[in-house]
Structure 1
Amino acid sequence: MDTRRLRFFITIVDTGSITRAADLLHIAQPALSQQLATLEDHFRKKLLIRGHQGVTMTEAGKILYRHAQVVLRQLEQAQAEVLTDGEFLSGRVVVGLVPFSSAGTLSVDLIREARARFPGILLEVTESVSQPYSQMIMNGRLDMALIHGAGPIKGVHFEQVLHEEFFLVARRDMLAELPEDGPLAVSNLADLPFILPPAYNFVRRAIDIAFMRSKTDLKVIAEIDAVRTLTSAVQSGLGVTIVPYAVAQRIMGENSPVAVRKITNPAIGEALSLCTAEHSPLSEPAVAIKELLLELTGTLLKEKAQLPG
């Protein structure tokens, strides 16, 4: 098996098009199509279906895509260890940190500590929302991820780190009609204009469930999947939001007119879990990064104990 064909196959799937993959790989499209045909002949299975909107994987293609990621990562790891004669940990480790969570605050600390302790490890940190992290773990594109939810998801091992509580964040002038002190019940929030993550986001799902249980209307005026844009929107008074406290602090900033209020009846929150592939063992560098990540999440537990009541 020529591993180049596996790389070609992954690139075609990731770009969604043989034409785009050929441009990216600097290969003529007919030549790339022939490489795909050779791969399908080898497995005696149709791997991709071509359509007007690009290519989609067959069930056999999905299986190959998952295994190809693992195989190529293992080859990359083997090369890194051979070059260093195994004298120190080396290789690439890819970590996903879900943006709308406390996990997003760990990025810089994780990179700094990994660089100090394991200089031979190339750490890649992603905070993408384009594809579910659980799927990226199963496909071998991520070694591990801190994500919202406690599972179960077939093929993914969940290790719950903490339970995040969500808070209301708004300019103070937008809360003028509400009680000034103490927590706010969900029923108090019916008339507020909300800017929230899209419906597929776990933070949004927890919010929707809380409003539904309290039989309170949720007035959503916009959906934003980027924390930086959400911060600008809330600070400018376009609307209010509900997010984990670590994200609320980023929105509030210094000398800001933004207030953070606790929510009750019901409280809103979600589990934060460290996830890895259930049936694919981590490489030694990935194990080291996992232990470091668990160490850093210990700081989140300490911060949780200091949350406003």
Structure 2
Amino acid sequence: MNLRRLKYFIKIVDVGSLTQAADILHIAQPALSQQLATLEGEVNQQLLIRTKRGVTPTEAGKILYTHAQAIMRQCDQAQSAIDRADAALSGHVSIGLAPGTAAQQLALPLLAEVQRQHPDIVLYFNENFGTTLSELIMNGRMDMAVIYDNRNIHGLRFIPLMKEDLFFVCPHSIAQPVKQIALAEVARYDLFLPRIYNIMRKVVDDAFIHGGLSYRVMCEIESQTTLNAALAAGMGCTIMPESAARAMLKASDAWMAKVVEPDVQASLSFCMSDHLPLSEPAEAVKAILLSLMARRTVDNRPLTLVG
């Protein structure tokens, strides 16, 4: 497979038009069409469907597009490594920090430490939901992430970091503060929780199911701003990891209590691809991030890494 043809193919799919792609690539459209035909011959599959509105990838085209992105990314990393063989580390490193995690609070310390040790590395922070972040890593579009998950997923490698207790967050207008609350008592309140594809929702659902408890999700909310507003208005309660719960108390005019009987915990893990190697800059950032996680404290207690 010719790398130049893969590059052309990626651009055609991104733009959705042979004509526009040819303009961007500064190549005549007939020549670009010939390159595409050659690529289709090499893989023995039709890769694009031509319509009046442009082109769309076939199922085979979608698969090749994903692999082609990863291949081109690895080629760029290889060239970058060669270019800086005798120079300081430089380049871009993308890091996902799932919202509402203890790791999210490491963004600024990580930025400062990377700038101190490797000033030519440029970081990109993506704060999104765990499922999306893991998919970006699997597709070779992000280097690493810290998310609530530790499942065995093909294409991903998880390094367990810590476990956080889950806390019940309740507005003062609904109930008086307590330090601990049984899961059965939590089930009596109207709850705001994320969608079912969110790993935190799965942890909460599993806890209720294993306890044989019925509970009511009043509304599924992903936005932290909306969640804070809903709690501040006294419309319901939520369940969050300890670090996220503490961060929202003031904005939501609420108190927090550890969920007990049973204790409910979420596993925070470092996530990376199990087949795409990290670039040298990404390896350096990974080492710094894991070091910061190891030194981080929660409630003035040393963070204990697991695994």
User: 1:129, 1:37 → 2: CA distance?
Assistant: 39
* Aligned partners of 1:65 and 1:139 also within 8 Å: no
Which residue is equivalent to 2:285?
A: 289
User: 2:121, 2:191 → 1: CA distance?
Assistant: 42
Which whole-Å deviations, capped at 9, do the CAs of 1:5-47 have from their partners, x for residues lacking one? 534544566x6x7259959x8589x949836545323422233
* Aligned partners of 2:169 and 2:255 also within 8 Å: yes
* Aligned partners of 1:165 and 1:270 also within 8 Å: yes
* Aligned partners of 1:167 and 1:244 also within 8 Å: yes
Which residue is equivalent to 1:129?
A: 129
Which residue is equivalent to 2:114?
A: 114
User: 1:9, 1:195 → 2: CA distance?
Assistant: 44
C-alpha spacing 1:10/1:102, structure 2 compared with 1 (3 Å): farther
C-alpha spacing 1:143/1:260, structure 2 compared with 1 (3 Å): same
* Aligned partners of 2:178 and 2:256 also within 8 Å: no
What is the CA-CA distance between 1:104 and the residue it aligns to?
Answer: 2.1
Which residue is equivalent to 2:180?
A: 183
TM-score, normalised to structure 1's length? 0.81
User: 1:112, 1:21 → 2: CA distance?
Assistant: 45
What is the CA-CA distance between 1:129 and the residue it aligns to?
Answer: 3.1
Which whole-Å deviations, capped at 9, do the CAs of 1:76-114 have from their partners, x for residues lacking one? 334545555631101121111122322222222222222
Percent identity of equivalent pairs: 33
**Which of the numbers 228, 233, 254 marks the counterpart of 1:231?**
228
User: 1:264, 1:12 → 2: CA distance?
Assistant: 55
User: 2:58, 2:208 → 1: CA distance?
Assistant: 38
Which whole-Å deviations, capped at 9, do the CAs of 1:136-174 have from their partners, x for residues lacking one? 222111111112221211121111001122111121121
C-alpha spacing 1:123/1:216, structure 2 compared with 1 (3 Å): same
C-alpha spacing 1:110/1:165, structure 2 compared with 1 (3 Å): same
User: 1:232, 1:21 → 2: CA distance?
Assistant: 48
* Aligned partners of 2:182 and 2:262 also within 8 Å: yes
Which residue is equivalent to 1:273?
A: 269
C-alpha spacing 1:20/1:244, structure 2 compared with 1 (3 Å): farther
What is the CA-CA distance between 1:198 and the residue it aligns to?
Answer: 0.8
Which whole-Å deviations, capped at 9, do the CAs of 1:169-224 have from their partners, x for residues lacking one? 12112124xxx433111111233221111110000001111111222222112112
User: 1:231, 1:95 → 2: CA distance?
Assistant: 26
Which residue is equivalent to 2:59?
A: 58
* Aligned partners of 1:252 and 1:259 also within 8 Å: yes
C-alpha spacing 1:156/1:49, structure 2 compared with 1 (3 Å): farther
Q: How does 1:156-305 map to 2 (within 5 A)?
A: 156-176=156-176, 180-253=177-250, 257-300=253-296, 302-303=297-298
Q: Are 1:154 and 2:154 an aligned pair?
A: yes
User: 2:19, 2:258 → 1: CA distance?
Assistant: 49
User: 2:166, 2:232 → 1: CA distance?
Assistant: 18
User: 2:243, 2:155 → 1: CA distance?
Assistant: 29
Q: Are 1:18 and 2:13 an aligned pair?
A: no
* Aligned partners of 1:214 and 1:265 also within 8 Å: no
Which whole-Å deviations, capped at 9, do the CAs of 1:236-280 have from their partners, x for residues lacking one? 3232111111111221137x6211111012222221111221122
C-alpha spacing 1:213/1:282, structure 2 compared with 1 (3 Å): same
Name stretches of at least 5 consecutive residues in structure 1 with no aligned partner: none
Letter of the structure 1 residue corresponding to residue 254 of structure 2: V
Aligned-residue RMSD, C-alpha: 3.3
* Aligned partners of 1:234 and 1:251 also within 8 Å: no
C-alpha spacing 1:27/1:123, structure 2 compared with 1 (3 Å): same
Name stretches of at least 5 consecutive residues in structure 2 with no aligned partner: 303-307
What is the CA-CA distance between 1:228 and the residue it aligns to?
Answer: 3.0
Which residue is equivalent to 2:305?
A: none
Count of aligned positions: 296
* Aligned partners of 2:200 and 2:266 also within 8 Å: yes
Corresponding residue SS for 1:203: helix
